[in-house]
Amino acid sequence: MQDSETIGQIDDTPIARAAQAAVQAIGRAGEGLPRPAATRVIVVANQKGGVGKTTTTVNLAASLAMHGLRVLVVDLDPQGNASTALGIDHHAEVPSVYDVLVEGKPLADVVQPVVDVEGLFCVPATIDLAGAEIELVSLVARESRLQRAIAAYEQPLDYVLIDCPPSLGLLTVNALVAGREVLIPIQCEYYALEGLGQLLRNVELVRAHLNPALHVSTILLTMYDARTRLAAQVAEEVRTHFPQEVLSTAIPRSVRISEAPSYGQTVLTYDPGSTGALSYLEAARELGLRAAAVGGGPLLGQQRHGSGTGHGAPVAQHGTTEGHR
Ligand SMILES: Nc1ncnc2c1ncn2[C@@H]1O[C@H](COP(=O)(O)OP(=O)(O)OP(=O)(O)O)[C@@H](O)[C@H]1O
Ligand SMILES: [Mg+2]
């Protein structure tokens, strides 16, 4: 028989801790979140590359679905990373978001269910999409083709998350016209805020001319490394600039998060008890509970970002507005 001290030691092994975390994660996932009154279409955008847009899109989407909601991921990046991470085949012949945008195919013809996660669906992107930026230019209503396709989709959805490419071209403009909310992932590193001014100005332009409901609703800190002072400084600075928009949950740097896509999985199914999975579940919870507060929130004002941001990373003052001509 084991005495209580031994049992205490067993409970404290890494495996026991992981098991406990997994139980906690599964428990929380089962709790459910309020169903939004109308479909929340969220554009995950940041023209800076590699900040965690795709990782955030797929893991938040899976978390929301695990909370009992119906969620669609639209992969709007020719790289097709979101499709890969959700285990969706996206070789050149697969019907994809390209067919929707350029050929006018209904969304329903290209939507695929995600195998491991009930309630989660994906519109894949194939390499064809690389040409779409140019092909769209000459098409009628080139900025609102995705918006029309989503509006015409008849299946009930609680959330649509759109994973944008790292640019501000016509694909991203299509996402900004289709969505009501913008979610900006910000990587906790030195140049974190560089280029943010340009993104915000594009959001403002689209809001002014094409989509009055559009606003930046959410900012998520990604790849947060609690051991470095720089991460803490960047996080603090972002929170000072965007006190209402930043989720209190920051996503830690986690090997599990980066490994999951190579198995065609989100971290939620790959390692449900990991800190990465727990943090995305928590971020999704925050996002979901904010639903009531959503609707016409103030657009992030340029005057709040015009004066540089320290860390040698001033917000860009000038930028083109590609796609708005
Ligand atoms: N929290 C994290 N911990 C560790 N690695 C991460 C984390 N988040 C993202 N990564 C890794 O960082 C890289 C960039 O992430 P991701 O592809 O999500 O960025 P992105 O903004 O979509 O990039 P792109 O601009 O190319 O579309 C990927 O290799 C991903 O696995
Ligand atoms: Mg990406």
Cα 48 to ligand 1 centroid, rounded to whole Å: 11
Torsion angle, CA of 114/117/119/120, rounded to 10 degrees?
-40
Cα 309 to ligand 1 centroid, rounded to whole Å: 23
Domain ranges of the chain: 31-292
Instruction: Give, for ligand 1, the residue of 258, 263, 275, 279 to mutate: max count of ligand atoms closer than 8 Å to Cβ.
Output: 258
Confidence of residue 11 (pLDDT cuts 50, 70, 90): low
Cα 46 to ligand 2 centroid, rounded to whole Å: 9
pLDDT of 114 reads 98
Closest-lying ligand 1 atom to the alpha carbon of residue 51: 21
From CA 80, how far away is CA 140, in angstroms rounded? Answer: 25
Closest-lying ligand 1 atom to the alpha carbon of residue 259: 31
From CA 117, how far away is CA 58, in angstroms rounded? Answer: 11
- Phi then psi for residue 129, to 5 deg, are -65, -20
pLDDT of 182 reads 98
The secondary structure of 120-175 as a DSSP string is EEEE---GGGGGHHHHHHTSTTTTSHHHHHHHH--S--SEEEEE--SS-SHHHHHH
Q: Which ligand is nearest to the CA of 261?
A: 1
- Give the DSSP letter of residue 65: H
Residue nearest atom 10 of ligand 1, based on CA coordinates: 258
Residue nearest atom 3 of ligand 1, based on CA coordinates: 253
- How would you classify the pairing of strands 40-44 and 120-123? unpaired
- Among 30-39, 74-83, 129-138, 228-237, the least confident range: 30-39
- Phi then psi for residue 121, to 5 deg, are -130, 160
Cα 47 to ligand 2 centroid, rounded to whole Å: 10
Cα dist from 71 to 112, 121, 156, 195, whole Å:
12, 6, 9, 29
Closest-lying ligand 1 atom to the alpha carbon of residue 260: 31
In one-letter notation, the amino acid at residue 206 is V
Residue nearest atom 6 of ligand 1, based on CA coordinates: 258
Residue nearest atom 20 of ligand 1, based on CA coordinates: 50
| Long-range contacts formed by 242-245: CB under 8 A, 24+ apart | 242/216, 242/300, 244/297, 245/216, 245/217, 245/218, 245/219, 245/300
Residue nearest atom 15 of ligand 1, based on CA coordinates: 52
Torsion angle, CA of 63/68/74/75, rounded to 10 degrees?
30
In one-letter notation, the amino acid at residue 1 is M
pLDDT over 80 (residue 272): yes
Helix axes 14-30, 275-289, angle to 10 degrees: 20
- 31-292 CATH fold: Rossmann fold (3.40.50)
Cα 223 to ligand 1 centroid, rounded to whole Å: 8
> Rounded to an integer, what is the distance from CA 75 to the centroid of its chain?
11
- Edge to edge, the sheet with strand 159-163 lists 112-113, 120-123, 71-75, 159-163, 40-44, 181-187, 215-222
pLDDT of 325 reads 26
What pLDDT digit, counting tens, does each position of 166-203 carry?
999 999 999 999 999 999 999 998 888 888 999 999 99
Contact (CB, 8 A) for 40 and 294: yes
From CA 45, how far away is CA 51, in angstroms rounded? Answer: 10
Count CB neighbours of 194 within 10 A.
16
Cα 288 to ligand 1 centroid, rounded to whole Å: 23
pTM recorded for the entire structure: 0.85
Instruction: Give, for ligand 1, the residue of 43, 48, 51, 54 to mutate: max count of ligand atoms closer than 8 Å to Cβ.
Output: 54
Show Cβ contacts of residue 190 under 8 Å, excluding neighbours closer than 6 positions: 230, 234, 311, 312, 313
Instruction: Find the length of the chain.
Output: 325
Q: Residues with beta carbon inside 6 Å of ligand 1?
A: 49-55, 77, 81, 166, 222-223, 251, 253-254, 257-258
Q: Name the percent of the chain lying above pLDDT 90.
A: 75
pLDDT over 90 (residue 45): yes
What pLDDT digit, counting tens, does each position of 248-269 carry?
999 999 999 999 999 999 999 9
Cα dist from 317 to 184, 261, 314, whole Å:
19, 36, 8
From CA 183, how far away is CA 45, in angstroms rounded? Answer: 6
Confidence of residue 27 (pLDDT cuts 50, 70, 90): low
Contact (CB, 8 A) for 117 and 66: yes
The secondary structure of 206-217 as a DSSP string is HHHHT-TT-EEE
